[in-house]
Amino acid sequence: MSEARIRRGGSARLGNPRSKVRVRSAGRERSLKRQSRFDRLLDALPISAASLQRLATWAIVAVVAGLAGLAAIFFGLPGMVHQEAAELAARSGFEVQKVEVQGVERMDELPVYNIALGQVDRSMLALDLPKVRGEMLKLGWVKDARISRRLPDTLVVDIVERQPVAVWQHHGQLHLIDVGGAVLEEVAASAMPDLPLVVGPNANRQTAGLNRLMENAPALKPMLAGATWVGNRRWDLRFQSGETLSLPEGDKASSGALVNFARMDGVNRLLGRGIVRFDMRDPDRFVLRLPQQQSAKDDAATAKAAGAGEEG
- Give the end of a domain, one of 161, 190, 211: 161
- The tens digit of pLDDT for each residue in 6-29 reads 455 444 444 444 444 444 454 555
**Separation between Cα atoms, residue 170 and residue 176, nearest integer Å:** 11
What CATH number does residue 181 fall under?
3.40.50.11690
Band the pLDDT of 244: cuts 50, 70, 90. very high
CATH of the domain at 102: 3.10.20.310
> Is 202 contained in some domain?
yes
Mean pLDDT within 42-55: 65
Q: How far is CA 301 from CA 23, 242, 276, 297, in A?
A: 144, 26, 20, 6
Write down which residue in 161, 191, 211 finishes a domain: 161
Domain count of the chain? 2
Domain termination residue (choose one: 115, 142, 161): 161
**Do 234 and 282 fall within a single domain?**
yes
In a domain, 70, yes or no: no
Higher-pLDDT residue of 82, 199:
199
Rounded CA-CA distance 142/145 in Å is 7
Confidence class for position 49, pLDDT limits 50, 70, 90: low
Please give the distance of CA 146 from its chain centroid, rounded to a whole number: 13
Q: Inform me whether the pLDDT recorded for 128 exceeds 60.
A: yes
In a domain? residue 113: yes
- Mean pLDDT over 198-211 rounds to 94
**Does 130 map to a domain?**
yes
Q: Are residues 214 and 247 in the same domain?
A: yes
Please report which confidence band the pLDDT of residue 71 belongs to, taking 50, 70 and 90 as the band edges.
low
Residues 144, 216: one domain? no
Query: 281: domain range?
Result: 164-295
Compute the distance between CA of residue 200 and CA of residue 251 in angstroms, rounded to an integer. Answer: 18
Cβ–Cβ < 8 Å for 181, 205 = yes
- Answer yes or no: do 176 and 196 share one domain: yes
Query: Can you tell me the distance from the alpha carbon of 18 to that of 11, in angstroms, rounded to the nearest whole number?
Result: 11
| 10-24, 131-145, 156-170, 242-256: segment of lowest average pLDDT | 10-24
Task: Decide: 145 and 161 in contact? Cβ < 8 Å.
Answer: no
Are residues 276 and 201 part of one domain?
yes
- The per-residue pLDDT for 95 is 84
pTM, to two decimals: 0.62
pLDDT tier at 249 (50, 70, 90 boundaries)?
Answer: very high
Helix (H, G, I), strand (E, B) or coil at 102: strand
